[in-house]
Amino acid sequence: MNLEGRKIIVNKSSKDLVEILKSPENYKDFMPDGLQKFETREDGFKFGLQGMPEIALKIDEVNDQKAVLKSASSSLDFSLTAALQPLNENQTEVQMLFEGKFNPFIKMMVEKPLQNFINTLTDKIEAYK
């Protein structure tokens, strides 16, 4: 299952975004309203949203072209990537990309909430100061 967020322009250099996305505690600023739990770990974070199970993510790779978060649970196989495209010294195009391997039943249950989550992340990154 693949999902995409809309492409946005962030008024930060890709270098600045890389520094922000390397640090687990900064992801709390991008979480949707309804966040009930947020714990940082050395290489990632765990969060809980109202009405959803807790999700643990590890920061797998961050460079000037992408930031990749992967599921820290062996029972869920997915990644969430922020694709970074530098436009100039002070602007970067960002697009959230989700890729997951789910059975059809799970896909049917999670597709809409995941798309909403990606849309919210996109909005929060776009508004990030």
pLDDT value of position 98: 97
pLDDT tens-digit profile of 40-84? 998 999 999 887 788 999 999 999 999 999 999 877 889 999 999
The chain-wide mean pLDDT, for the chain, equals 93
For the chain, give every domain's residue range.
Answer: 1-125
pLDDT exceeding 90 applies to what percent of the chain? Answer: 82
Q: Which residue has the higher pLDDT, 106 or 95?
A: 95
* Cβ neighbours, 10 Å, residue 60: 17
Q: How far is CA 118 from CA 7, 35, 96, in A?
A: 11, 15, 7
Between the alpha carbon of residue 82 and those of residues 31, 44, 104, the distances in Å are 14, 15, 25
- Reading the block at residue 39, the tokens are 């714990």
Give me the CATH topology for the region 1-125: Alpha-D-Glucose-1,6-Bisphosphate; Chain A, domain 4 (3.30.530)
pLDDT top residue among 129 and 118: 118
pLDDT for 18: 95
Task: Judge whether residue 110 has pLDDT over 90.
Answer: no
pLDDT higher than threshold 80 for residue 120: yes
pLDDT at 129: 73
